Amino acid sequence: MATNENISSSVLNRLIKEVKDYTKQPVSDVTLQVNEENVTDLRAEISGPAETPFHGGVFKIKLVFGPDFPSAPPKGFFITPIFHPNIAKNGEICVNTLKKDWKSDCKLGHILMVCVET
């Protein structure tokens, strides 16, 4: 398990900035939970969007940021079991934003919005 002590300063600084920026402009219906001992393992709760089959549900996700972030995308997982074509059996979120279309300037808010819209 990684800790903030063994994360490169560039990754740590970027993630701290992303979290601070996110708290200023959060995504509607998404609650971010930061593990202060390991900021590379972010958790969030998504309230199921209105007018969808997921309305009324609360879905837990985690984002895991690797040592190559932001050059490489984080891995996203639904912790709450969910049946969806863009969610693998292991919960991995399979969307282009977190795969082939990843851009290093992608913000945390956008990543979470993609998870909501998935």
Catalytically active residues, by annotation: 94
Q: How far apart are CA 46 and CA 32, in angstroms?
A: 9
Residue 61, domain extent? 4-117
pTM, full prediction: 0.88
Inform me whether the pLDDT recorded for 1 exceeds 60. Answer: no
Q: How many domains does the chain have?
A: 1
Burial 88-112 (b: 16+ CB within 10 A, else e): eeebebebebbeeeeeeebebbebb
CATH of the domain at 41: 3.10.110.10
pLDDT in tens, 31-71: 999 988 889 999 999 998 888 888 999 999 999 999 999 99
